[in-house]
Structure 1
Amino acid sequence: MAKGNLKRIRIIVLPLVFMIGVAVYLASQMSFGPPDRILPGIYMLNINLSLMNHDQAMLSLKKLEQELQRPLTVKFKDMTWTLPMERVGLKLNCQQEVQRAMGIGRSGSLWQRFLERRQAHRGIRLQPEIIIDSGLLEKQVSEVTEDILLPPRDAGLIINADDTVEISPGQSGRLVDIDRLRQDICQNLLQGNQSPIELKLVEVPPARTTEEVKAMGVDALLGMFSTQFDPNKVNRAYNVSVAAAALDGLIVSPWEIISFNEVVGPRSTEAGYKNAPIIVNNELVDGLGGGVCQVSTTLYNAVLLANLEVVERTNHSIPIPYVPIGRDATVVFDTVDFKFKNNTDDWLYIQSFVTGGRLTIKIFGNHKFKRDVVIRSWVEETYQPKTVVEKDYGIRMGDRVVKQKGARGYRAAAERIVMQDGKVIKVEKLPYSVYRARDQIISQGMAPPGSVLKTSDLLKDHARESEKNEEILQE
């Protein structure tokens, strides 16, 4: 055979023989073991996973996870602290790591699988991905290293007793570099290093700087309003305080529209509200969050006096005693809202607080928009109640009982007079307020003589109910 032909045969045959040898090697049990088990020679850190099935490997990695949760020591200069790693959300993605280990030598090209199996034969040590919750880590570090930390202080507004405004300057703080610490913890755990970890402190600027607060332009009281309530009505007083607290400290950007319902939120037991009288269908009944409408009404009047734009407002179905007629604003979450707009070029700051039986809301802004405002309201039309007689077979025939006292209804008008330097610059008509008349309902006795129910008892019951409703209205 010619040398050239022999050479060509070698070129063709030798790679083929090599490939057949690789295939034979890959097909042998020694190269990869049973298909449902991890190849021999594969470790996860110091855990030998060789020939483990899925469940065995999962159990081993769970034990490794527990080992990694042992307490660590952190230090700063000559101070040391113990950091409880079981409280920082440290965990392994055991399912993912087991799949990674079982996939070695079983995916990719034939050549890739050959290389991975040969490497496993020599030994492969995998490093798991260690997951740590940065928020929980920061909380634990802050608790144990409190003495060396200096939280940043945001700039803010100080409202003095005379309603003048000052700026509380912001200040940078000094906190632990949590990202760096998390990386150092993972590195130490992967390397089996038990030496204390040195903390690195970083300077943290305030979230709101002094310059930013100055740029808001809040420097004067634009308008305020107060209403009275009976602090002895404990539930109602409590609801007023809860809603007022939700408004306190509210910052409003230029031209922003504020929704009372969005700021105050649902009137629920989870939010801290209690049952107290509310107006429903022209009647007083117990309901969750009774008293919140006094807060919306007080805010409405403060908004009017601050010369801000009213976007949405609805009056109650009956007049309320703590503001002049035509100057109330009712709210029902998800149904009836009160909204106003900051129609100035600067920011607003709202202060809302309760003192004894007095609710006060103040609106601060830039002095350029300060105006003298007067609100007038009056009754334009009065609606007389009707008298409705209902037959009642629980009352002796011939007797009559007032089941519901009647009340007049009204159509009230209002206006806002805006003045500057003693001169009227604007007279604005406010929306009409219509309060429906409440019919007087009389129960006409229809029962024959000898009935167990006595008319005198009914009269007493209805008298007590009427007194209760009148008492509620006086709040």
Structure 2
Amino acid sequence: MAEQILKRVVPVVLPLLFLISLAVFLATQMSFAPADRILPGVYMLSINLSLLDYPQAVSALKKLEQDMQKPLTVKYQGKSWLLPMDRVGLKLNCQQEARRAINIGRSGPLWQRFCERRQAYRGIRLEPEIIIDTGLLQQQVSQTAKDIILPPRDAGLIINNDDTVEISPAQSGREIDIQQLRQDIRERLLQQDTSPIELKPVEIPPARTTEEVQAMGVDTLLGMFSTQFDPNNVNRAYNISVAAAALDGLSIRPQEIVSFNEVVGPRSTEAGYKNAPIIINNELVDGLGGGVCQVSSTLYNAVLLANLEVTERANHSLPVPYVPIGRDATVVFDAVDLKFKNNTDYWLYLQSFVTGGRLTVKIFGNHRFKRDVVIRSWVEETYPPRTVVEKDYSLRLGDRVVKQKGAQGYRAASERIVMQDGKVIKVEKLPYSVYKARHQIISQGMAPPASLVKNPDPPGEAVEQDRGNPDVLP
């Protein structure tokens, strides 16, 4: 009977004893700790986090972060520099890393927890996520190792004092591979290796190569024009300088149409313009950007002398003193423009500058399109001014004062004569320019003695007369 019971029990008890023994053995090979503490055997790099609670783990990780923020040595071709790691935004997410350490063996599927506890028994070395600000690292490298950083230089044009043209060759630049350096720093910190890090330079190509500038074909002066202005008229001189600077260095593609207004932009206080005299409704009044039309007129004449095509141009309502009659070009932003076309097969390059009281515009292009050009202009018709008499109740009866001097109007013609090898190859009639006559306005006194009053608004009726232009009439 006992033998029968034994035969029945042994097959059950032996496996059970084996499982219990296995469980006991495995339990002795696993790491255990209270629920609020990190399992024994858990390390963050070389920092032992065993049995630390959350605040203690955060504190230990902050010390690790401080150690990582000590300067590292970087080197290049025999030179070395100290890179301050506390200025590159290096940090650890200490709270997140502490939670990760506490969760070892306590989260995830049962089999995962078992494996993690077994690993902790043997020792787990965690690697923290190291955060480095790429922008700050770039800034520190640029300051620390600035001797090896070389910005690229684009190819460009050099205009000599004698108006000959040379090409300034392009040059590649050199900078440090910041992403590679960022990766190298992380690896060294994780390995707790303080040996110098070799900087790896990368070549930076220029944005514009020498070959590209050569292909532009700019090699000679096609045309230039200068005008004079009074530098003592400070606001107007300043406006001329601002507009001229906007044109200076302009490159124009073959067949491109250039708009003066698009290049120079709005004449506003934000753009730096000031009040100076401008022509509005046949009168000189102060306005924002006064003087800009001298720049557009100077450019217009340079364009004509360079034998370029003018696609849009308008003259002032009154003749201007800085260019011959019929050769001015007025502009009003968003209303009246000066436009011309690069009708050559090569690029154009503009120079526009002010020297003292002299404004100069030069247009450079290819020698194959160089022509000798002469511009002629003349008056074909004149328009005499009319005299307008206005009643003025602020003047004594019988007194007459010239309120506005009159000026003749004109219809001017102009032409462009193009020559090559001393021979005329083209005579081009340019559009007529019509300048309105400026009426003379005389104020006629209407107030009896001792009863002067302010003029009514609107003023009294005006009477047109054909008389002379004295400043004060009896």
TM-score normalised by the chain length of structure 2: 0.70
Partner residue in 2 for 1:382: 382
- Confirm or deny: 8 A CA contact 1:278 1:291 kept in the other structure: yes
- Confirm or deny: 8 A CA contact 1:384 1:409 kept in the other structure: yes
Q: For residues 329 and 87 of structure 1, what CA distance do their matches in structure 2 show?
A: 57
Q: For residues 407 and 149 of structure 1, what CA distance do their matches in structure 2 show?
A: 65
Partner residue in 2 for 1:146: 146
Q: For residues 186 and 415 of structure 2, what CA distance do their matches in structure 1 show?
A: 68
Partner residue in 1 for 2:433: 433
Unpaired runs of 5+ residues, structure 1, are: 1-29, 31-40, 103-110, 455-475
Partner residue in 2 for 1:301: 301
What SS class does the counterpart of residue 237 from structure 2 fall into? Answer: helix
Partner residue in 1 for 2:415: 415
Q: How does 1:1-12 map to 2 (within 5 A)?
A: none
Answering whether residue 325 of structure 2 is matched by residue 325 of structure 1, we say yes
Partner residue in 2 for 1:443: 443
Q: For residues 188 and 284 of structure 1, what CA distance do their matches in structure 2 show?
A: 74
Identity percentage of aligned residues: 74
Higher mean Cα deviation, 434-443 or 146-155? 146-155
Equivalent AA in structure 2 for residue 427 of structure 1: V
Once the two structures are superposed, residues 113-153 of structure 1 have per-residue CA deviations (whole angstroms, 9 ceiling, x without a partner) of: 889999999899773775533xx654553343332233333
Equivalent AA in structure 1 for residue 389 of structure 2: V
Q: For residues 280 and 311 of structure 1, what CA distance do their matches in structure 2 show?
A: 24
Once the two structures are superposed, residues 188-232 of structure 1 have per-residue CA deviations (whole angstroms, 9 ceiling, x without a partner) of: 677777665432223333332222222111111111111111112
Partner residue in 2 for 1:4: none
Q: For residues 294 and 228 of structure 2, what CA distance do their matches in structure 1 show?
A: 9
Q: For residues 439 and 145 of structure 1, what CA distance do their matches in structure 2 show?
A: 72
- Confirm or deny: 8 A CA contact 1:91 1:132 kept in the other structure: no
Partner residue in 1 for 2:290: 290
Partner residue in 2 for 1:363: 363
Higher mean Cα deviation, 317-326 or 244-253? 244-253
Q: For residues 62 and 341 of structure 2, what CA distance do their matches in structure 1 show?
A: 57
TM-aligned CA distance change 1:387 to 1:183, over 3 Å: farther
Equivalent AA in structure 2 for residue 273 of structure 1: Y
Partner residue in 2 for 1:132: 134
Answering whether residue 209 of structure 2 is matched by residue 209 of structure 1, we say yes
Partner residue in 2 for 1:254: 254
Partner residue in 2 for 1:264: 264
**Cα distance, 1:362 vs. partner?**
1.0
Higher mean Cα deviation, 368-377 or 275-284? 275-284
What SS class does the counterpart of residue 330 from structure 1 fall into? Answer: coil
What SS class does the counterpart of residue 398 from structure 1 fall into? Answer: coil
Partner residue in 2 for 1:168: 168
Unpaired runs of 5+ residues, structure 2, are: 1-34, 36-41, 100-106, 455-474
Higher mean Cα deviation, 189-198 or 401-410? 189-198
Q: For residues 446 and 391 of structure 1, what CA distance do their matches in structure 2 show?
A: 6
TM-aligned CA distance change 1:393 to 1:153, over 3 Å: same
Q: For residues 203 and 339 of structure 2, what CA distance do their matches in structure 1 show?
A: 41
Structure whose CA Rg is larger? 2
**Cα distance, 1:86 vs. partner?**
8.1
Q: For residues 212 and 114 of structure 2, what CA distance do their matches in structure 1 show?
A: 63
TM-aligned CA distance change 1:442 to 1:310, over 3 Å: same
Q: For residues 434 and 393 of structure 1, what CA distance do their matches in structure 2 show?
A: 36
What SS class does the counterpart of residue 302 from structure 1 fall into? Answer: helix
- Confirm or deny: 8 A CA contact 1:274 1:288 kept in the other structure: yes
Q: For residues 82 and 373 of structure 1, what CA distance do their matches in structure 2 show?
A: 65
What SS class does the counterpart of residue 299 from structure 1 fall into? Answer: helix
Equivalent AA in structure 2 for residue 316 of structure 1: H
Q: For residues 116 and 448 of structure 1, what CA distance do their matches in structure 2 show?
A: 113
Q: For residues 307 and 167 of structure 1, what CA distance do their matches in structure 2 show?
A: 24
Q: How does 1:213-228 map to 2 (within 5 A)?
A: 213-228=213-228
**Cα distance, 1:98 vs. partner?**
11
Q: For residues 260 and 65 of structure 2, what CA distance do their matches in structure 1 show?
A: 49
Equivalent AA in structure 2 for residue 217 of structure 1: G
Partner residue in 2 for 1:20: none
Q: For residues 376 and 232 of structure 1, what CA distance do their matches in structure 2 show?
A: 31
* Number of matched pairs: 404
Equivalent AA in structure 1 for residue 134 of structure 2: I
Partner residue in 2 for 1:336: 336
**Cα distance, 1:373 vs. partner?**
1.0
Higher-helix-fraction structure: 1
**Cα distance, 1:342 vs. partner?**
0.9
Partner residue in 2 for 1:350: 350
Equivalent AA in structure 2 for residue 338 of structure 1: L
TM-aligned CA distance change 1:333 to 1:184, over 3 Å: farther
**Cα distance, 1:435 vs. partner?**
1.9
Partner residue in 1 for 2:373: 373
- Confirm or deny: 8 A CA contact 1:127 1:190 kept in the other structure: no
TM-aligned CA distance change 1:335 to 1:180, over 3 Å: farther
Answering whether residue 281 of structure 2 is matched by residue 273 of structure 1, we say no
TM-score normalised by the chain length of structure 1: 0.70
Equivalent AA in structure 2 for residue 303 of structure 1: V
